[in-house]
Amino acid sequence: MRKLSVLEMGRMTVDEYKESLKTPLVVVLDHVRSLYNVGSVFRTADAFRLSGVCLCGITARPPHPEIHKTALGAEDSVDWKYFEHTEDCVTWLRQQGYTVLAIEQCEGSTMLNNYQLSIVNCQLPKIAIILGNEVKGVQQQVVDMCDGCIEIPQYGTKHSMNVSVTAGIVIWEFFKQLH
Amino acid sequence: MRKLSVLEMGRMTVDEYKESLKTPLVVVLDHVRSLYNVGSVFRTADAFRLSGVCLCGITARPPHPEIHKTALGAEDSVDWKYFEHTEDCVTWLRQQGYTVLAIEQCEGSTMLNNYQLSIVNCQLPKIAIILGNEVKGVQQQVVDMCDGCIEIPQYGTKHSMNVSVTAGIVIWEFFKQLH
């Protein structure tokens, strides 16, 4: 099978992107340290045309050369917002009508493969997912504010996966349900 | 909801992992340059208990301090094999009974959300997925040897996603079908 050239992929311009209808899904990064993870999340958010990315606490913000290295310009297409305190971000999202879900391994969390978005009166829900720091995860007080906790089932020796990979899997799964 | 401690997650030891039944899925990295991507793929492979990772061409091999930094020890649990030429890896996988799929944007490729593994006589298929170099993708001559081409649909401005994120999404989707 012949590989497509970049031109044949027919991607949109940043201006077209800004005007386009977005997937009602927002990613929140709660004190994510790695600039690589931030850039990579921007790139995935661009691919699935998310409504935005919220950067909280120590999470770095564009413009930043290290974010650009992995985002490759997706930081210019995807809307983003900064909050010093993740709690303020959750409050703001709630006011905007978002259901806020922590991606964490909690007592009684719902496995990602079992989670079904509830679509009422043909109205798509607005969903925000929170990913935490590489070592500490989502802060307990932030988890406590959430509407639920989603966990990716894992069967290996390590306690977690990389933050940007985790974000990618959850975004993909929700994107399929939202389209 | 209370976050689980690492102990409560009840992960297996490397010895237990080695003895455990594996998911019949192998990841092939065709000239992947970033050590971060290699380490991250090992960590995802561990989480979904894959049968192995094949490292080809310029792809770095463990032990390597930079791979360890992101794999965090998953390079010790997951089996891996090195091939100088990716073509030899594809030939070897075919001999082992694997269906080999390139993850690429090709003329006539199948979208990931439309791909169904064929399960014959309750026998799970053995699947290998090939991910390519960060800039060039999977080599055309390697794509030509594959049984098919799988593409993740993308709706943004950039032509692709990060290699380890792409691997994570495809592994998750196939893992669900294989269990």
Q: pLDDT (tens digit, 0 to 9) for every residue of chain A, 179 residues total?
A: 899 998 899 899 999 999 999 999 999 999 999 999 999 999 999 999 999 999 999 999 999 999 999 999 999 999 999 999 999 999 999 999 999 999 999 999 999 999 998 888 888 899 999 999 999 999 999 999 999 999 999 999 998 999 999 999 999 999 999 88
Q: What is the pLDDT of residue B69?
A: 92
Give the torsion sign (CA, B74, A40, A150, B7): positive
Report how far residue A109's alpha carbon sits from residue A111's, in angstroms, rounded to the nearest whole number: 7
Q: What is the pLDDT of residue B124?
A: 87
Report how far residue A3's alpha carbon sits from residue B39's, in angstroms, rounded to the nearest whole number: 27
For the question of an ipTM over 0.95, the answer is yes
Q: What is the DSSP string of A96-165?
A: TTEEEEEES-BTTPEEGGG-----BTTBPPEEEEEEEBTTTBS-HHHHTTSSEEEE----SSSS---HHH
Mean pLDDT to the nearest integer, B73-94: 97
On the question of pLDDT at B29 being above 90, the answer is: yes
Judge: B168–A166 Cβ closer than 8 Å, yes or no.
Answer: yes
Tell me the nearest-neighbour CA distance from B84 into chain A, angstroms. Answer: 23
Q: What is the pLDDT of residue A123?
A: 85
A72 and B CB contact within 8 Å:
yes
CATH topology of domain B21-178: Alpha/beta knot (3.40.1280)
Strand-pairing partners, residue B82, are B55
Report how far residue A73's alpha carbon sits from residue A13's, in angstroms, rounded to the nearest whole number: 11
A4 and B CB contact within 8 Å:
yes
Which residue in the set B14, B165, B169 is minimally distant from A40, CB to CB? B165
Judge: B108–A1 Cβ closer than 8 Å, yes or no.
Answer: yes
A20-178 in CATH: which number? 3.40.1280.10
Tell me the nearest-neighbour CA distance from A38 into chain B, angstroms. Answer: 12
What b-and-e string marks burial along B74-109, b requiring 16 or more CB atoms within 10 Å of the CB?
bbbbbebeebeebbebbeebeeeebbbbbbbbbeeb
A6 and B CB contact within 8 Å:
yes
Average pLDDT across chain B, whole number: 95
Q: Which two tokens stand for residue A59?
A: 């999470």
Report how far residue B28's alpha carbon sits from residue B53's, in angstroms, rounded to the nearest whole number: 6
Q: What is the pLDDT of residue B66?
A: 94
Gyration radius of chain A's alpha carbons: 16
- Is A120 exposed, middle or buried (CB count within 10 Å of its CB: 0-12, 13-18, 19+)? exposed
Are residues A99 and A127 in contact, defined by beta-carbon separation less than 8 angstroms?
yes
Report how far residue A16's alpha carbon sits from residue A8's, in angstroms, rounded to the nearest whole number: 17
Judge: B11–A40 Cβ closer than 8 Å, yes or no.
Answer: no
Domain ranges in chain B are 21-178
- Among the listed residues B43, B23, B24, the one whose alpha carbon sits nearest the alpha carbon of residue B35: B43
Q: How confident is the model at residue B150 (pLDDT cuts 50, 70, 90)?
A: very high
* DSSP count for chain B of H helices, then E strands: 7, 7
Give pTM, 2 decimals.
0.97
E strand map for chain B: 23-30, 50-56, 80-83, 98-103, 110-111, 126-132, 148-151
A74 vs B contacts (CB less than 8 Å)? 156-158
Q: What is the pLDDT of residue B81?
A: 98
Mean pLDDT to the nearest integer, B31-55: 97
Are residues A88 and A122 in contact, defined by beta-carbon separation less than 8 angstroms?
no
Q: What own/partner pairs with CB < 8 Å and gap ≥ 24 does B68-71 have?
A: B68/B39, B69/B35, B69/B36, B69/B39, B70/A162, B70/B35, B70/B36, B70/B38, B70/B39, B70/B40, B70/B42, B70/B43, B71/B38, B71/B39, B71/B40, B71/B42, B71/B43, B71/B46
Return the residue of B nearest to A109 by Cα: B1
DSSP B149: E
Q: What is the pLDDT of residue B43?
A: 97
Q: What is the pLDDT of residue B53?
A: 98
Are residues B149 and B102 in contact, defined by beta-carbon separation less than 8 angstroms?
yes
